[in-house]
Amino acid sequence: MAEIKTILIIEDEPLNMELEKALFEAAGYTVLEAEEAKKGIAKAKEKKPDVIIVDYQMPKIDGIQLIKKLQLDPKTKGIPCIIVTASTTEEQREMLKKSDACGFITKPINTRTFVDEVIKLARKNAGH
């Protein structure tokens, strides 16, 4: 897998976006932002990030549906997508495992390990 340099964060909650962005920028990554699914899909097609982080619960379309759209599009297929979620029931965990996401991280995120967790999942599932 090529070196991971650019991260796209698709997150509708401004505080979560700022936190995740700050963590990745502090670790030396370039961060792209989208506050909703439609903008996230457009930005992913245009910029081709190395990894996409998707909030599970967003208005209009959830993270699983968003990732499915990304993986069906030839321009974004294969970009590792990781879901960040506050939903942690067993049923939801099973749904996430069966999705096109290459992994998920539960909220609240651990600020000391979040970047490493994302990068590890992305590398493990490159070309997913």
Q: In this structure, what CATH number is given to the domain that contains residue 27? A: 3.40.50.2300
Structure tokens at 94: 């099973």
Closest Cα to residue 38, out of 3, 73, 18, 66? Answer: 66
**Residue 104 lies in domain:** 6-124
Residue 1 pLDDT grade (very low, low, confident, very high; cuts 50, 70, 90): low
Work out the average pLDDT over 47-62: 93
Indicate the pTM of the whole model: 0.93
Residue at 1 is within a domain: no
Are the C-beta atoms of 66 and 10 separated by less than 8 Å? yes
Are the C-beta atoms of 29 and 119 separated by less than 8 Å? no
Residue 128 pLDDT grade (very low, low, confident, very high; cuts 50, 70, 90): very low
Residue at 11 is within a domain: yes
If one counts the domains in the chain, the total is 1
In the block, which residue shows the tokens 């650019």?
Answer: 6
